[in-house]
Amino acid sequence: MSTADVSPGRDWPVIGALAVLTAVLTVVAGPLGTLAGVVTAVTWYTLGTVYAIATGHVVLATAFSSGITTESFLVVELAFVVFLCSSLVRATSPLRDTAATVVSASLLVGVAWLISQTQPLWIAAGVLLAVFALTAYTLHRYELVRLDLVPLDQPTDSTKTDP
């Protein structure tokens, strides 16, 4: 997102979502959940949303080293999706960006669930990683086009000569 797409002074939805995220993590994971929420908030403030989500998940993984129930997983991930969507309120087109985020997250969860029900875990993990990589690459290309970083000129072949 470029600085032109950001409206200053609209961080209150993100701060509220971080408070809700920290509360949810505390209820689900106890003191390590509180730590994960605080680390997520500090990382968001210093590095941004993407790094905050990654860091929060890494810290939270220590709380569930022996496994996590499906209900707890869904509640935690829903709180992270709410946090992600709240950070999109700062964009100039928050409705479109939020819809894209929710659809992408739903598709990834749907693929993970569907594959895990029909295939062994290692195949499901591989398919999910492949879908995630394809999605990340597609979003990267979309960002290049959206920010006008794709050159419009067609490359010329230096071996050809004009008649």
pLDDT of res. 42: 92
Residue 2 confidence (pLDDT) above 60: no
Residue 7 confidence (pLDDT) above 50: no
Higher-pLDDT residue of 62 and 43 is 43
| 9 dihedral zone (left: phi>0; alpha: psi -120 to 50; beta) | left
Query: Which segment of 38-42, 67-71, 139-143 scores lowest on mean pLDDT?
Result: 67-71
pLDDT of res. 76: 85
Q: What are the extents of the domains in the chain? A: 10-92, 94-149
pTM tops 0.75, yes or no: no
- Average pLDDT for 19-24: 90
Q: What tens digit of pLDDT does each residue of 64-88 get? A: 777 777 788 888 888 888 888 787 7
> What span, in angstroms and rounded, lies between the C-alpha atoms of 22 and 79?
9
Identify the band that residue 38 occupies on the pLDDT scale cut at 50, 70 and 90: very high
| CA-based R_g, the chain, Å | 20
Long-range pairs for 156-160: beta carbons < 8 A, 24 or more residues apart: none
Contact in structure between 135 and 110 (CB atoms under 8 Å): no
